[in-house]
């Protein structure tokens, strides 16, 4: 997320629509920067906005903020969003080869179609049958997503293969930037080492102006208000949004082709990590091992900043 106040100036009138448009949004694929874009894509489009408005000072004073989520619950939640990941399904940055998608590796045509159609067009019971295949897909784009988003490593699976490097599970990424070369040079496989993304992501974490935790929303809001003096969360509007969402409830599943399937059907009760088998739990944690380490680092940073601003960890929001 980028926090920026747009100064009033006649120079931006020709591109005034930028004031009312998300450059990158998690709600739709129609925006310029795509969906769940990595931080460097976000930076690129912020710079593009500055050039389009012909008001270059717009590029100064930008604050980048991130809200991290507990990795295992985030991973399980993405299973219901898209089987192949945003990159393959919507061709959003970084662009991946659709032929490497997990759906292409399913053993039957019916399972392949079910994965492509998604939870919006099938019952939860039938869609959940895809889960064992999903967590054993070596190209699972949901694995370590937060680490990759902060590191923004380009898709280089073929290059890694050329070097005879086993990238393990998850989508293989590498980065050939000067920064990556310096930070990853000490790793066994250098730029193509599976630990390179984590090195870059940890560095990016400390360069962000703000880091919050999804599981500690109240403390995150209080810290945000403390760091950005003068900004306040609208508690009344927030409560109204919660009540409105709660009143709608979860959609009722009627089975494959049922009347209640369709738009919004992906908002089903997510798989719980504690409800998985021991083998599945080990697999999910292994797939997201970089994200788990990154989240632990973010949690330490978050708690240190709470202490620095005198905010109790168990602070309550009115």
Name the strand (E) or helix (H) holding 247.
Answer: helix 235-248
Per-residue confidence (pLDDT) for residue 58, from 0 to 100: 60
Pair 318, 221: CB distance under 8 Å: no
pLDDT of residue 128: 95
**Among candidates 116, 110, 125, which has minimal Cα distance to 253?**
125
Helix, coil or strand: residue 64: strand
pLDDT by 10-residue block (mean), the chain, 318 residues: 49 51 50 64 69 62 86 95 83 67 94 93 93 94 90 48 40 58 80 80 90 95 92 68 51 40 65 95 96 97 96 89
Entry pTM:
0.75
Beta bridge partners of 66: 211
Measured distance CA(42)–CA(34) in Å, rounded:
9
Could you tell me whether strands 2-3 and 154-155 are parallel, antiparallel, or unpaired per DSSP bridges? unpaired
| DSSP state, residue 181 | H
The tokens for 302 are: 């978050």
Residue 90 in contact with residue 29, Cβ under 8 Å? yes
| Confidence (pLDDT) at 215 | 95
Supply 224's token pair: 């945000």
């Amino acid at each position: 997320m980028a926090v920026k106040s747009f100064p009033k100036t006649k120079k931006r009138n020709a591109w005034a629509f930028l004031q009312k448009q998300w450059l990158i949004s998690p709600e739709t694929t129609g925006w310029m920067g795509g969906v769940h874009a990595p931080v460097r894509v976000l930076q690129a489009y912020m710079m593009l906005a500055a050039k389009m408005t012909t008001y270059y000072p717009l590029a100064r004073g930008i604050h980048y903020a991130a809200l991290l989520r507990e990795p295992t619950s985030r991973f399980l939640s993405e299973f219901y969003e898209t089987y192949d990941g945003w990159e393959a399904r919507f061709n959003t940055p970084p662009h991946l080869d659709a032929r490497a998608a997990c759906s292409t590796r399913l053993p039957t045509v019916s399972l392949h179609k079910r994965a492509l159609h998604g939870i919006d067009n099938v019952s939860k019971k039938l869609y959940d049958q895809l889960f064992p295949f999903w967590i054993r897909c070596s190209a699972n784009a949901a694995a370590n997503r937060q680490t990759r988003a902060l590191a923004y490593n380009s898709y280089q699976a073929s290059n890694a293969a050329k070097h005879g490097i086993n990238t393990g599970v998850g989508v293989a990424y590498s980065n050939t930037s000067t920064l990556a070369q310096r930070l990853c040079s000490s790793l066994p496989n250098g730029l193509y080492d599976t630990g390179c993304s984590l090195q870059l992501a940890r560095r990016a974490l400390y360069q962000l102006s703000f880091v919050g935790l999804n599981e500690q929303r109240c403390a995150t809001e209080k810290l945000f208000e403390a760091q950005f003096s003068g900004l306040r969360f609208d508690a009344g509007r927030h409560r109204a949004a919660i009540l409105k969402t709660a009143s709608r409830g979860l959609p009722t599943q009627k089975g494959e082709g049922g009347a209640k399937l369709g738009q919004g059907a992906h908002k089903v009760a997510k798989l719980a990590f504690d409800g998985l088998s021991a083998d599945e739990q080990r697999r999910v944690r292994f797939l997201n091992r970089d994200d788990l380490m990154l989240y632990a680092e973010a949690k330490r940073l978050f708690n240190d900043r709470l202490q620095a601003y005198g905010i109790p960890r168990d602070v309550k929001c009115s």
